[in-house]
Structure 1
């Protein structure tokens, strides 16, 4: 047998992790993968872990609320898909582990991110846009650490090194009617992510 570096996705398509192309997955494959990939190493103070799909929707919602000028569909897609590579490999690496995985894993992530950007025609980040995105991503992470995982605000600052004050309001609570910060079941997370992705792709003319 030859060495296998591809995985079979729910649609039946094959994704070659070492040589991916923009045509290797469906939108539903990506939504499912992100809904089944968990943040914080899968640890949660709730019965369910928090999916990357839910996190991505939270980042998009907060970025929208903090933007004075409305984002374009392409910019919103870029926010929604900022962690999309994790859904294709079903792995969200916690920060302390990344140095041990080394440059080969970083290269794998870069390849996947590149084909995602090509598939969805994502614009390159400007310095200001990247700064605004990072501020939102960190703010969401601080809130998740407290409301999902169970860290204290002091631990978020001193142990995790996150300076953002954990917000109380869940940016998704009004839209979806779930208890604030409650992790969704994978099927719900996948459906909601796919709904947003489909709508944004249509608005972007994809």
Structure 2
């Protein structure tokens, strides 16, 4: 079967369908993305809590860290990049860790890249600047280290020695102050979807407002 004829359909919560191999940026609803990310779990679905941690909650944590670390208000376009940095995982249905991506090879990376390109087109994401991407990677790694200890149950020394994450583990959960939730507790899928969708809609409106103001 040739690449042009290959298809891999998934049904979305809205009833629409998305071809994972040839993704159409106009197919899904924002609510589809929010719910699928809320149902996509990090850390292989493992958790030291009753519920696993979703990619939606992780994305909001990374965004919160970027905002917390910024000396000035984070531009909406940068915030949208943070929120959607793992968006393709919602369509793939799992969070693939980097070492496993290397084993799965180029075909997996190609599918993942095409999905992320569709997300970038749909939400008009701009490319990372080198400086912004470096700070993003630090926020992503700090979030991962903190999740590993507080949400999954990895000992801190194994986060460093086994997982190879050298960034510090946070004591304070930034999301607890924002949402009034129990620190580090994974959210139910409907809660994670609602909070992710609210952030997505707010940031899209802010980005469009900036574009109109500059026109």
Question: Is residue 6–residue 21 contact of structure 2 (8 Å, CA) maintained in 1?
Answer: no
Name which of 12, 27, 32 aligns with 1:29. 32
Which residue in 2 is equivalent to 1:181?
184
Partner secondary structure for residue 113 of structure 1: helix
TM-score of the two chains, using structure 2 as the length reference = 0.92
TM-score by length of 1: 0.96
CA drift at 1:132: 0.5
> 1:161-205 CA deviation, whole Å, 9 max, x = no partner?
111110110010011111100000000000000011011111111
Which residue of structure 2 aligns with residue 131 of structure 1? 134
Task: Number of aligned residue pairs: give it.
Answer: 205
CA contact (8 A) 2:142 2:167 kept: yes
1:105 aligns with 2:108: yes
The 2-side partners of 1:78 and 1:168 are apart by 25
Structure 2 segments unaligned to the other structure (5+ residues)? 210-215
In the TM superposition, residue 13 of structure 1 has moved relative to its aligned partner by 1.2
Aligned residues: CA RMSD: 1.3
For residue 63 of structure 1, what is the aligned residue in structure 2?
66
Q: Partners in 1 of 2:55 and 2:106 — Cα distance?
A: 23
Give CA deviations for 1:34-71 in whole Å, capped at 9, x if unaligned: 00000000001111000000000000001001011222
* Aligned residue number for residue 91 of structure 2: 88
SS at match of 2:166: coil
Contact 2:63–2:82 (8 Å) recurs in 1? yes
Listed as ranges, the gaps of 5+ residues in structure 1 are none
